[in-house]
Amino acid sequence: MLSAEVEGDSLVFVASGVVKLTAQSASPQPAKHDACTNHVLSFHFPTDIVSVLRREDGDFRLIALADAQLVTFSADRFLDLAQDDPAVIRSVLARSLNALHRSRNRMMQMSHKSARQRVADFLVSMSKRLTAGEHKACEFALPMSRRDIADCLGLTIETVSRQFAELRDAGLIETEGRSLVRLLDLEKLSREAGRTPLPHFEPTI
């Protein structure tokens, strides 16, 4: 478990492992017994480039969920160096627009989707990341805890757990132990998630 501290905006390349991008919202009023208002913005996998930006209130953090190898650039310095190479900077721009696009999609989903839809969508999306290519045997170990999932989906761990149970009862998934998940019916699961087609894997920033 490794946590990378960075000053200013930076770009991080994930070479191996899994990381979560979190934002602790330095909550103004310490709320009731808040303890863990640790929002998880996204999970990232090898080949992803994550942009970790500085915020006014509290900071973004990149936290490893499994042993990970990361390459960190200062965004400014990187851009200075890349400035002479249009292809590079343009690729970064393309990735960044792509990330924006996905973030918007995600936001749209988040605000209008039920717990069931969020969890189903999460599972489908994870299967794409973790079993890239293999169309059958959608079986994988979730690298993150229920808390991380809940924080990412804007739900409580209890609700996530209940949704897992219901999906299990419905015969859409199977679980073994804490992290192993088997998606038995990707088709139906996608429909539960409220997705039309099956989007492709695309590198993120």
Partner DNA sequence: CGTTGAGTTGAGCTCTTTCAATAGGAGTGG
Partner DNA sequence: CCACTCCTATTGAAAGAGCTCAACTCAACG
The pairing of beta strand 10-16 with beta strand 69-74 = antiparallel
Rounded Cα distance between 35 and 52, Å, is 23
Which stretches within 50-85 are classed as H helix?
A: 75-82
- Residue 196 is a binding residue for a copy of itself (CB under 8 A): yes
Shortest gap between Cβ of 127 and DNA (angstroms)? 17
d(CA 138, CA 127): 7
Binding to DNA by CB under 7 A, coded x per residue (else -) over 127-146, reads ------------------xx
Distance CA 162, CA 181 (A): 15
Binding-site partner at residue 114 among a copy of itself, DNA, none, CB < 5 to 8 Å by type: DNA
Q: How far apart are CA 73 and CA 85, in angstroms?
A: 17
**Under 8 Å between Cβ of 27 and 34:** yes
Q: Can residue 32 be called a binding residue for DNA (CB under 7 A)?
A: yes
Q: Interaction with DNA in 50-79: which residues (CB under 7 A)?
A: none
| Phi, psi of 151, deg, nearest 5 | -60, -35
Residues 188 and 171 sit within 8 Å (Cβ to Cβ): no
Please identify, among the stretches 4-12, 54-62, 81-89, 158-166, the one whose residues bind DNA according to the rule CB under 7 A.
158-166
Q: Give CA–CA dist 147/3, Å, rounded.
A: 18
Which of 155, 173, 193, 205: binder of DNA (CB under 7 A)? 155
Distance, CA of 48 to CA of 50 (rounded, Å): 6
Which of 12-20, 51-59, 111-119, 195-203 is the region at the interface with DNA (rule: CB under 7 A)?
A: 111-119
By CB under 8 A, the residues from 62 to 121 that bind a copy of itself are: 75, 79, 83-84, 86, 89-90, 92-93, 96-97, 99-101, 103-108, 110-112
User: Measured from the CB of residue 86, what is the shortest distance to a copy of itself in angstroms?
Assistant: 4
Residue 108 within binding range of DNA, rule CB under 7 A: no
| Contacting positions for a copy of itself (CB under 8 A) | 9, 23, 25-29, 37, 39, 41, 51, 53, 55-57, 75, 79, 83-84, 86, 89-90, 92-93, 96-97, 99-101, 103-108, 110-112, 153-154, 191, 194-197, 199, 205
